[in-house]
Amino acid sequence: MTRIAIDPGRVLGQIDRNVFGGFVEHLGRCIYGGLYEEGSPLSDDRGFRKDVLTLLRELRMGVLRWPGGNFVSNYHWQDGIGPKDERPSRPELAWGGTESNRFGTDEFLAYCAELGTQPYICLNMGTGTLEEALAWLEYCNGERDTYWANARRRHGQAEPYQVRLWALGNEMYGEWQVGAMSADEYVREATRWARALKFLDPGIQLVSCGKTGWNEWDRIVIEGMAHLVDYHSIHIYTGAEDYWTNVLQPHQAERAIRSAIGHIQHTAYRRKIQHPPKIAYDEWNVWYRKMTVDLAERYTFPDALAVGTYLNIFIRNSGWVKMANLAQMVNAIAPIVTTPETATVQPIYYPVLLHAQAALHDAVDVHVYGSHLDPVWPDSPGRWPYKVVDLGSFTSIDAAASVSANRERVAVTLVNRDPDNPDTAEIVLRDYAFAGPAEIRTVTAGGPAEPRVLPDVETAHMEHGEETPKGGTVVLTLPPQSFTLVEAAIQR
Ligand code: AHR
């Protein structure tokens, strides 16, 4: 038995829809042959795969990051505008591919409009110049009679796109990044860029390039950039063959968030910054199998438990985490997989779907009283260097909860990481009572209802149910290795 105590009156933070964000990079078959396939019977006349659009739409992404990732650090956006047949092909250095440039800025922004999702563009601070970055911003947002705004109009877009979110480079600390630099060099360069970009369009929001959250790079960048940017970004990937490492390693994100908040608050206090930057977790996922070429990771259900835990962590940290981007969305380390004939989903799709569909206005306090896991940790954490053993002992259930603005609904997401045993969860509301049945959706591995659409892609199975609460308490069963969403009306 595990007791999940929820205090609907104790708000942890307002949930930003951008926490249910995505990321698509020119990499493997994410764009070409993924969300974009010219001439396919499954595509519309712009080349957008309709089956992929349908699956993405369900995820209600608040924001979509593009075009990279590592790819952006030698991407020249001007190659990707104008008549498609006149666009140059270029070698790209991040993944060793060839970029046809047939999907460029106008295509990406049309795609975001189609999805009803806010675009988020990452700037090239590798081979790119500040002049190019300013031209890109002018192309997207320019309202006056100027060269690049007029180029946009010539290409069919009369109104400014009003792209608000811009990132100052991607992972500029990494030796895998074209044009990588030291933290001090980054602060000097990004400061020049930030000032000029905000001169051109004061309405934009800028994202400084962070690392893991607790790194010396983060400290230097936050101290140098916090007065100029709206978000500090951090990235995390986890995952391992070992079951416990795989399902519990996402808790490393909590350490990262705490450390980044510490750096931000320290700097804000010292420099008297009124509106310190928030955290953008602008790449996160399970990723440890396919590290090169197309990143065609095949996910299992334990990976979905990790993804559900990540999202719970972001919800619990809603006061600071105001954007998070699942890396990535299609084919490359992605919930959606395509072939020329079909598109299907991997197990990690389901926690993203249920979280995005259920999350309400405010994240509220949750406490889990339950049996603690006692994993046998392997000597090595596997692909990623994150040991989480020191983060405390973990309960088998991980939980997050949110309430509507009028406090008339609650949504609770529960991950049961116990590999073998079901658990009885008793959800108890403080000062509130349930005002109707609790609707329950539970996802587990496999299941007979959904045939495997692609032979190498695992499925998951969702069941709908209902429980009758008594006062402020409702009791339900969580199968081993399951992700569960509980939704109900509440009253004071
Ligand atoms: O998402 C895959 C890659 O991981 C991205 O291109 C990069 O930013 C990160 O290293």
Nearest ligand 1 atom to alpha carbon 27: 6
SS3 assignment, position 252:
helix
Mean pLDDT across 66-92: 98
Does a cis peptide bond (omega within 30 degrees of 0) precede residue 276? no
Protein residue with least CA distance to atom 6, ligand 1: 69
Mean pLDDT across 461-477: 97
- Please write the tens of the pLDDT for every residue from 325-347: 999 999 999 999 999 999 999 99
Would you say 221 and 187 are in contact if contact means Cβ atoms under 8 Å apart? yes
What's the pLDDT score for residue 452?
63
Residue 449 has pLDDT above 70, yes or no: no
Q: Is 242 close to ligand 1, i.e. is its CB under 6 Å away?
A: no
**How many other β-carbons are positioned within 10 Å of the β-carbon of residue 358?**
18
What's the pLDDT score for residue 485?
98
Higher pLDDT, 332 or 293: 332
Q: Is 25 close to ligand 1, i.e. is its CB under 6 Å away?
A: yes
Protein residue with least CA distance to atom 1, ligand 1: 327
pLDDT band at 223 (very low <50, low <70, confident <90, very high): very high
Distance 38 CA to ligand 1 centre (A): 26
What's the pLDDT score for residue 446?
83
Distance 404 CA to ligand 1 centre (A): 35
Q: Is 327 close to ligand 1, i.e. is its CB under 6 Å away?
A: yes
Nearest ligand 1 atom to alpha carbon 295: 2
Nearest ligand 1 atom to alpha carbon 283: 1
Protein residue with least CA distance to atom 2, ligand 1: 69
- Please write the tens of the pLDDT for every residue from 420-435: 999 999 999 999 999 9
What's the pLDDT score for residue 390?
87
Q: Is 69 close to ligand 1, i.e. is its CB under 6 Å away?
A: yes
Q: How far is CA 389 from CA 186, 241, 250, 339, 430, in A?
A: 33, 17, 12, 40, 31
Would you say 295 and 287 are in contact if contact means Cβ atoms under 8 Å apart? yes
Strand 321-327 and strand 336-338: the pairing is unpaired
Distance 69 CA to ligand 1 centre (A): 5
Mean pLDDT across 293-317: 97
Mean pLDDT across 224-228: 98
Instruction: Give, in degrees to the nearest 5, the angle at Cα 298 between 294 and 302.
Output: 140
Nearest ligand 1 atom to alpha carbon 285: 1
β-sheet bridge partners, residue 479: none
pLDDT band at 391 (very low <50, low <70, confident <90, very high): confident
What's the pLDDT score for residue 374?
87
Does a cis peptide bond (omega within 30 degrees of 0) precede residue 328? yes
Percent of the chain with pLDDT strictly greater than 90: 95
Residue 306 has pLDDT above 70, yes or no: yes
Strand 409-416 and strand 482-491: the pairing is antiparallel
Distance 45 CA to ligand 1 centre (A): 30
Q: Is 170 close to ligand 1, i.e. is its CB under 6 Å away?
A: yes
Query: How many whole angstroms separate alpha carbon 480 and alpha carbon 422?
Result: 5
Q: What single-letter DSSP state applies at residue 228?
A: T
Distance 98 CA to ligand 1 centre (A): 17
Would you say 251 and 313 are in contact if contact means Cβ atoms under 8 Å apart? yes
Residue 207 backbone dihedrals phi, psi, to 5 degrees: -125, 120
Distance 1 CA to ligand 1 centre (A): 40
Residue 106 has pLDDT above 90, yes or no: yes
- Please write the tens of the pLDDT for every residue from 230-282: 999 999 999 999 999 999 999 999 999 999 999 999 999 999 999 999 999 99
What's the pLDDT score for residue 447?
73
Residues annotated as catalytic are 171, 283
Token output for 444: 């587990």
Distance 53 CA to ligand 1 centre (A): 23
Q: Is 67 close to ligand 1, i.e. is its CB under 6 Å away?
A: no
Percent of the chain with pLDDT strictly greater than 70: 99
Cβ partners under 8 Å of residue 25, min gap 6: 31, 66, 67, 68, 69, 70, 71, 72, 327, 328, 332
Average pLDDT, the chain: 97
Nearest to 322 by CA among 278, 366, 272, 359: 278
What's the pLDDT score for residue 298?
97
Protein residue with least CA distance to atom 9, ligand 1: 69
Q: Is 68 close to ligand 1, i.e. is its CB under 6 Å away?
A: yes
β-sheet bridge partners, residue 240: none
Residue 450 has pLDDT above 70, yes or no: no
Q: Is 418 close to ligand 1, i.e. is its CB under 6 Å away?
A: no
Residue 12 has pLDDT above 70, yes or no: yes
